[in-house]
């Protein structure tokens, strides 16, 4: 596979989608007026990203975070001058100055920063070199960084980059560069717990389960991951499959009724007979608040025990532009107020992308099978 062109004609986000869906292995080389960059992928996942469009090398990031001391950094710098093909990360690791776990953590956050930066590039050439993952000599950048043992999802990186891009687009052109610098600093502080605030439960779950969402074997596995995530935040929940006019129970957690799994799979609700669920599904937006009464929600509550929670939450899962599943959650058992749910919402968005990717891969395989007949 040869992929060559200009960023003006094919955006980085589109390139990522092509390489991710095709589970490609190789190195993407970028050269533009903003600088040079490399992104290495293995089986469609990003394992390395570096650019000269940010000020620090990975070694300088470690120094500024206080992970290594000045003397160690200067020693690594001297070695780097004698062995320019070696990265600071490799040198520091071989010196025993930093652990593999630390390098993995730093590199993941650095990769987010780099991809966010590259999404701002407006011009340049790109070339994807298939099956070539050696970064040496491909671009003239100060350091090639560290290769991750487990790659990062391009979809996640694009989503995080889009967040930064959207926030920056609301600033003036003159302040965009300052915004990027401040956002880099903010992400770094969050990653290294320089702020003493405890991590929210939904963000903790997002960190823990996003890795598993990268390699789902089936739609049922995606379903289980969604229920696992939600069970960390709510006392009970139900996942429904959404059709044109009805929703059908798929799975549950926390329901205190007889044979809950079998009971949920027997539930079918004509959601268009009530305005509440219909509006959530049609608008494709999450809802948190009072569970409004209509014929459909009354039927649902009767099916799961008859008690009404003080508040409830609904999260639509969208694939190919339509809602294919709906997650219902509440805290009836504990009585706790529903907290922040952005992490769960991000995870469900990623689950929709994973499901869409799985469907696309299946269609591509079916097309290849037909063409081979």
pLDDT (tens digit per residue) in 273-290: 999 999 999 999 999 999
Which of 2-16, 90-104, 286-300 is the most confident on average?
286-300
pLDDT (tens digit per residue) in 119-163: 889 899 999 999 999 988 888 899 999 999 988 888 888 887 777
Question: How many alpha carbons fall within 13 Å on the CB side of residue 362?
Answer: 9
Query: Mean pLDDT score of the chain, rounded to an integer?
Result: 84
Residue recorded with tokens 């070539």: 132
- The rounded distance, in Å, linking the Cα atoms of 110 and 108 is 5
Return the pLDDT at 268.
96
Tell how far CA 103 is from the center of its chain. Answer: 20
Residue recorded with tokens 């302040």: 175
Using alpha carbons, list the distances in angstroms from residue 336 to 158, 210, 331, 349: 34, 26, 6, 25
Return the pLDDT at 350.
82
- The rounded distance, in Å, linking the Cα atoms of 248 and 269 is 7
Using alpha carbons, list the distances in angstroms from residue 2 to 26, 43, 123, 333: 11, 16, 20, 56
Share of the chain above pLDDT 70, in %: 80
Which of 37, 92, 38 lies closest to 62 in space, CA to CA? Answer: 92
- The rounded distance, in Å, linking the Cα atoms of 216 and 194 is 34
Strand ranges across the sheet with 2-6: 2-6, 125-130, 26-32, 35-42, 45-51
Q: How confident is the model at residue 238 (pLDDT cuts 50, 70, 90)?
A: very high
Q: Which DSSP string corresponds to 259-283?
A: SHHHHHHT-EE-GGGSHHHHHHHHH
Q: Which residues contact 31 (CB under 8 A, 6 or more apart)?
A: 37, 124, 125, 126, 139
Which of 364, 353, 358 lies closest to 321 in space, CA to CA? Answer: 353
Superfamily in which the 201-372 domain is placed by CATH: GAF domain (3.30.450.40)
| Parts of the chain belonging to CATH 3.30.450.40 | 201-372
Which of 299, 320, 296, 322 lies closest to 242 in space, CA to CA? Answer: 322
Return the pLDDT at 197.
40
pLDDT (tens digit per residue) in 334-344: 999 998 888 88
Rounded mean pLDDT of 248-275? 92
Assessment of whether the complete model's pTM goes beyond 0.75: no
């Amino acid at each position: 596979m040869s992929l060559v062109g200009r960023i003006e004609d094919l955006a980085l986000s589109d390139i990522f989608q092509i390489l991710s869906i095709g589970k490609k292995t190789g190195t993407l080389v970028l050269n533009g007026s903003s600088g040079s960059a490399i992104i290495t992928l293995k089986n469609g996942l990003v394992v390395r990203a570096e650019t000269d469009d940010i000020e620090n090398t990975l070694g300088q990031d470690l120094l500024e975070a206080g992970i290594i001391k000045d003397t160690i950094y200067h020693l690594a710098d001297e070695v780097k001058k004698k062995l320019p093909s070696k990265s600071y990360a490799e040198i520091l690791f071989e010196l025993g100055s930093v652990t593999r776990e630390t390098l993995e953590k730093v590199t993941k956050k650095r990769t987010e920063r780099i991809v966010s930066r590259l999404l701002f590039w407006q011009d340049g050439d790109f070339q994807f070199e298939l099956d070539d993952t050696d970064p040496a000599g491909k671009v003239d950048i100060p350091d090639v960084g560290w290769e991750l043992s487990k790659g990062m999802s391009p979809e996640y990186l694009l989503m995080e980059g889009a967040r930064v891009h959207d926030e920056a687009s609301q600033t003036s052109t003159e302040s965009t560069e300052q915004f990027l610098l401040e956002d880099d600093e903010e992400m770094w502080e969050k990653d290294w717990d320089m702020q003493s605030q405890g991590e929210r439960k939904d963000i903790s779950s997002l960190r823990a389960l996003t890795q598993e969402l990268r390699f789902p074997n089936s739609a049922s596995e995606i379903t289980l991951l969604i229920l696992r995530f939600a069970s960390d935040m709510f006392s009970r929940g139900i996942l429904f499959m959404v059709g044109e006019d009805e929703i059908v129970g798929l799975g549950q957690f926390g329901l205190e009724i007889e044979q809950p799994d079998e009971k949920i799979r027997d539930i079918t609700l004509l959601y268009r007979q009530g305005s509440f669920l219909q509006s959530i599904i049609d608008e494709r937006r999450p809802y948190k608040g009072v569970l409004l009464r209509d014929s459909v929600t009354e039927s649902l509550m009767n099916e799961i025990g008859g008690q009404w929670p003080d508040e409830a939450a609904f999260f639509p899962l969208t694939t190919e532009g339509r809602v294919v599943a709906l997650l219902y959650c509440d805290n009836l058992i504990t009585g706790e107020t529903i907290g922040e749910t952005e992490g769960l919402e991000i995870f469900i968005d990623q689950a929709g992308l994973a499901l869409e990717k799985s469907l696309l891969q299946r269609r591509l395989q079916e097309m290849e099978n037909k063409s081979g007949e």
